[in-house]
Each structure stands twice: as structure tokens, then as C-alpha cells.
Amino acid sequence: MDVWSWICELLDSEKWSIENDDSFLIYNLATSITNSSQSIQFKAEKKLDPNNTETNSSLVFSICLLGFHDTSQEEVTIWVSDTCPLSSDKPFLPLVLQLLQEIISRSPTAHDSACPRSHLQKLQPDPVSWILDSHSPESFSSFFNLIFLTRLFWMFAFDAPAAVGSLYFHSLLAPNLEAFSCKHAPVLRTFFITVGTDVELCFMRTFGYMLAKWLILREVGGVGLKSLTPLASHYLGFSYATEAHGLWMLKGYAPVKAMKPTRMNFDKFQFPVIEAKEIALKYTLAHQQLEAVIQFEYTVGFYDGFIQVRARLDNIRLGVARLGFNKNDDEEDSYLQEKHFPSRIRVWVGPEIGANYVGGLSLGRSTNNVEREFEMQRVLKGNFGNSKQPEVKTRAKMATKSKMKNWRWDQEAEGNAAVYEAILYDHVSGCEIATWKPVNGDDKNNQLMNNFRGRYFGGNRAFSKKGGLVFAGEECGEEVGWRLSKEMEGSVLKWRVGGQVWLSYWPNNVKSSYYETRLVEWCDEVDLPLIPGKIF
């Protein structure tokens, strides 16, 4: 699908009718395989002003359905665009703005979001206009296809017959799933940086909701999706990295069902299941999305003979958003309140692979050894000669006290990259949560699962009330440093920033035997400017 190229060619198309004042061209989006009379069409209609001058003409776009209503061939229009004046230097800017604004207004934001859709202001044209100017039609095409597919989803999910939705998932979304991967990130990254985080969340939660629906339908074999793109689900999601004001920031989003499973108590997380409550549980778990922010603070020092680059893990913020439209948090069915939680985090930072300008890597404290306090008591009895009465008697007492934490942080090196790793443990048994696997009939394992019930309540909880997780710099270990060749001064290098996050699910407030752990990995490059006076 390359709708944007077709739109751009409309300006110079020779196919417009010269006999009528109004004429139209059609881009056929999809045609049903089982019924060729059913199709989805994208129509461009050219309208002339009363003076019939080409300079004052305009285009209006529409989405039309053919053959879906009562088996008739009547064409039904379900969406119409704003007018696009051809005399403008950016004639299709109104179309792009309309699609973006309509996506925002329909976004399934988190239930308890601090920025609901109603509080978002209307998108300003200047940032979008700048993106149009700064990217070639070829690079902008992937971005337009992404937002066009997203807008079509809301049309066909809510405003069209079920057969239209089936055709959309099979013939439009499935063949173009690559649009929702990091492969097409550059324009989307620029867009998010330009419009801000609040708009970014609206879009990413919309993408997550769409992908969750597609993954569920594919898993149950619905609408012919069972045989399509068998490995695509492991590569869906989006991440990008930026550098600004002395910070390297990596942001990542991944629908939970698109994450790679590492442990679960079934060979496959399948639908349907017999019990209605289990269906509700698994349906809820499928509508969740991991949202991560990883920030490194860095500094650059210039010395005689070398350059010193230092970095410190400033912040890690992880949240699991519940994707949907029901904002009632007082649901009686507690299955709808179940949620995944982070159980292991691994992040790294370092020069690009193959860099020969790094002279050495220095780590901070590698292992945080737990300090213990000892109190001892011993009893010693003794006699002299044949006396039955002891004449020497001493006592001492021994006890061990230690401070236990849920998370353990370590530091290590892989080549020239510094690696920070945090692992969630059960503070009673010391078992690692991400690799835990229960054994039937084992009371110890049952007790371990019970230790993590009610994990979002109480003073000793390892997560926030909403199930999120935040680590500040002082919790993550000391800074690391690299020594670089003095010859690199004045250049802008590429630095790698990456992360892996494991999400686990254990029953919290419900009775269920289901558990699982899933993994996602992101990696990107950021700029490292080695210019004196330009470093924050």
C-alpha cells in the first residue's frame, strides 16, 4: 500500500475528466477474496470554483464501501475529508492534520491518565508542515501509511459492518504490519519530538490497542489470520532514542502479547478456554502495553592527551498501561484489574560497535554486597579436678541481621558497553521472579506465589499503586567512564543505548494457575558531540 505516492501524483495526473466540472479518481484499498463485488475504496474528487479556473480548484477525499450493505452494489460513503486547496504550497496538509487529530480524539488512553483526550489541544499546523518540508515523499510515505491505517481502524471497528472489519484485518492491516515496527521510525520519531509526550502517548496507545486486537484475532484463527506472518508478533512495537541537554533518552513501547514469551505454564497462550473467568483474565492481559523511559546523564571532559566521557543511569520509568475504554476502576470483576509487572531490567550504553577510538572503560561499583550485623552468644562450661561444681562459666549469643531489598542491581561490561542489570527477587526466599517456574504439589512454590499477592498495596510493595516502577540514579549504581583518543575532538560520535525488559504475570487478587514472563528488547543510537563549549 502506497497511498501517499498516489495522492502526490494527483497534482499532475492526466486522468482527470476535462468534460465535467467535477471528476474523481479511485484508489482501490482492498477487495474481498470470497466476494469480488465487495471492496473498500479511497476516492479523490476534484472540485472547481464557479469560474472553472484550475488555480482555484480543490480536492476532497472520501472512504467508500461497495457491496457490503444488503448485498447491493450501492456505494456508501463513511468518511469525508476537509477541503484541500490545490493553490496552496502544501495542498495535502489539511488531510494529514485531519487524520492526526481524529486519531488523537479516539485514542484509548490509560484509565487513570493525567492527560485525558479532552484536555489535548488541537494540533497546530506548523510542526506537521515542517515535517512535510523536511522529509522526502518516499520517507514520508511510510508515516502517512501508518496514520492512514490507524484512522481506517477506527472507521471499520465502529462505523462499518463486520465484514468490512474482517476485510481490513486480513487485506489491509496484516500485509502492512511492518509500518508498526521500528523499521519505519525516523519520521514518527520526528513527529513525536515535535508534538510532545502527551500526543505521543495517545498515538502509541492507539497503536497498542490495534495490535492487541490483531494478535488476539490471529491467535484464535479469526478472519483467516492464522496463517499470516507467523513471526511478526515478536517484532511489533516502537522505540526511539534522543540526545538533548546532557541526557540520552530511550523510549520504548510494546504490546504485551507482541513480546517474546520466555516462561508460561502452557505451551501456547490460546483462546478460547472453558471457564468464563479465565477468558476475562486472558483477555485483560492481552490488552496491556509496556511503556518505558530510560535516561542516561552524560558529561564530556577534555584533558591533555585524552577525552573523558562519563555516564550515569539517571532514571528508569516503567509502566504497564491497560488499553481500553472502560474507565470504571471499581469493577466488581477483579479479573479485569489483573496486570503484568516488571521482573527484570537490563540496560546498556557504550560506543558504536567496532569503535577503535576508545582506550578503556571504567565501571562503578559492580556488586552491591549486603551488609550484615552480627550478635553472638556462646555458652562455655568447665570443671577443675574432680569437682562436680563448675568453676568457669561464660555465655555468648549469636544472631544475624540483614537488610533485604526486592531489587538487586549489578554492573558489568560487554566489550566497551557498560551494562546495568536489575533483578526482582522474592525477599523471603531469595528466588528470582523472572526465571521462577512452579512445581505441582510443591508447597514452597505455592508460598512464593502467595508472597507476591497484593503486590500493589502495603508499605513493603515493590511497585507503585498503579503497578509502575521508577528507579532514580542513586539506586542504579555509580557512573561509568570511557577514555577516548584526543584525535576525536570536534567530531560527533554515535553512542549505543539499549535495554531489555522482562514482564511477568502472577495472579494478584484472583485464583488462577496461569503465569507467564515475556521479554522485549530495544536498541538505538544517539549523538555524542565532542565539541568543547557545546557539552552540557
Give per-residue pLDDT as tens, 501-525. Answer: 999 998 888 888 788 899 999 999 9
Cis peptide bond upstream of 272, omega within 30: yes
User: Whole-angstrom Cα distance, residue 188 to residue 131?
Assistant: 10
State the SS3 of 133-165.
HHCCHHHHHHHHHHHHHHHHHHHHHHCCCHHHH
Question: What's the mean pLDDT in 380-397?
Answer: 57
Find out whether 438 and 265 touch, Cβ atoms under 8 Å: yes
- What beta strand segments (E) does 218-287 contain? 238-244, 247-255, 260-264
CA angle 249–250–251, rounded 5-degree value: 120
User: Whole-angstrom Cα distance, residue 219 to residue 216?
Assistant: 5
- Number of CB atoms found within 10 A of residue 45's CB: 16
Of the two residues 441 and 42, the one the predictor is more confident about is: 42
Find out whether 422 and 476 touch, Cβ atoms under 8 Å: yes
Find out whether 418 and 348 touch, Cβ atoms under 8 Å: yes
DSSP 59: E
Give per-residue pLDDT as tens, 127-167. Answer: 899 988 888 888 888 899 999 999 999 999 877 888 898 89
C-alpha cell at 58: 480543490
Give per-residue pLDDT as tens, 333-388. Answer: 677 788 999 999 999 999 988 888 887 888 876 555 455 554 555 655 555 556 56
**Cell 492526526 sits on residue:** 100
* Percentage of the chain lying above the pLDDT 90 cut: 34
Mean pLDDT, the chain, as a whole number?
80
Find out whether 378 and 398 touch, Cβ atoms under 8 Å: yes
What residues are paired with 460 via a beta bridge? none
**Cell 511510510 sits on residue:** 142
Residue 267 predicted with pLDDT over 50: no
The total number of residues written for the chain in this structure: 536
**Cell 567512564 sits on residue:** 481
Segment among 69-73, 81-85, 114-118, 500-504 with least mean pLDDT: 114-118
Burial of 12 (0-12, 13-18, 19+ CB in 10 A): exposed
List the one residue out of 221, 92, 224, 216 whose CA is nearest residue 147.
Answer: 92
User: Whole-angstrom Cα distance, residue 375 to residue 378?
Assistant: 10
Torsion sign over Cα 228, 233, 234, 240 = positive
Give the pLDDT of residue 233.
47
The DSSP code sequence of 278-297 is: HHHHHHHHHSEEEEEEEEEE
